[in-house]
Amino acid sequence: MATRKIGPALAAGCTVILKPASETPLTALAIVEILERAGVPKGVVNFVLPSKTGPMISKMLHNPRVRNLSFTGSTEVGRTLLKESADCVLRTSMELGGNAPFVVLDDANIDDAVAGAMIAKMRNGGAACTAANRFIVAKSVAQEFTTKFTKAMGALKLAPGLDEGAQLGASVSIKERNKIADLVTAAVKAGGKLVLGGATPEGAGAFYPATVVTVDKTNPILNNEVFGPVAPIVTFDGDAEAIELANATEYGLISYVYSSDLKRAIKTAEAIESGMVAINRGVISDPAAPFGGVKQSGLGREGGFAGIYEFLETKYIGVEI
């Protein structure tokens, strides 16, 4: 996350203040050290980790030397930062929450869809803004998809990262793990059917197992970004309903569509309200492509030519000779 912001900022000639997530500061600190070893002068990239985050960020955002705020995080925090930025009319780049639909049309290659679903859902244990969050599957192929997907999810080894063969590790904190567990509990209480997982393991660590739950379209879990190894599956009858379900969220970061008919897939992708759509693939991020969302998933773009524009201002000079 830090490099995607620092790179274009430096290329545009800006100095940078980097404030990483308080739970995971060490990688960011290492990046700053590496940049200095590579020749970036001290003071160009500045690492801060305040004990009282809110007041310090507010103070920075009200300093006239600050010209841009680039933030990756939750929509809730993003809204707060936008309000703070308004006082000085700061330019903002916001990469916020997601609720990515993974749409499997009735003509999809199910084996390919399952393979893509495992990548889209389970990289970083589901704790990614681009993670598939809602599996919207055509009724005619739902049983086959659910069976094969559940088998693949159930084969993952839940263990600490240092354990040999570990494939699914812990959440970033006990609090985050408990939030995931609460979402599953609420989904089941609302009528969802557990197909796999759903029970918090005993013992130390913020672990939660790979979980698959079938739900109807009114289930509350479909309204939340799970940010963990939980896959709710909801079915649909026709393409129009699939699009309606995909768009039934305030978020619009990324979507996934699987179909053997490219024309049909593109038509579906164009109708889905998200900044990015992956067709027949489980990964779409690319340093050369613009990354970002619509609706309450953010403002602006990272990556590609669009990424540096966030740190530049357009000036028009008209001359008469």
302 counts as catalytic: no
Cα separation, 307 vs 291, whole angstroms: 8
**In residues, how long is the chain?**
321
Beta carbons within 8 Å of 229's beta carbon, 6+ residues apart: 121, 122, 125, 126, 153, 156, 168, 180, 197, 208, 209, 210, 211
Q: 253 and 298 in contact (C-beta within 8 Å)?
A: yes
Q: What angle do CA 18, 120, 163 make, to 5 degrees?
A: 75
Structure tokens at 7: 């790179």
Active-site residue among 95, 225, 302, 310?
Answer: 95
Question: Which amino acid is residue 257, in one-letter code?
Answer: V
Q: Is the dihedral of CA 314, 73, 78, 222 positive or negative?
A: positive
Active-site residue among 36, 76, 84, 129?
Answer: 129
Pairing mode, strands 211-214 and 193-196 = antiparallel
Stretch (H or E) spanning 17: strand 16-18
Nearest to 197 by CA among 170, 230, 227: 230
> If you search the block for the tokens 């164009």, which residue do you land on?
270
**Collapsed DSSP state (helix, strand, coil) of residue 115:** helix
Stretch (H or E) spanning 278: strand 276-279
14 counts as catalytic: no
What residues are annotated to the active site? Answer: 95, 129
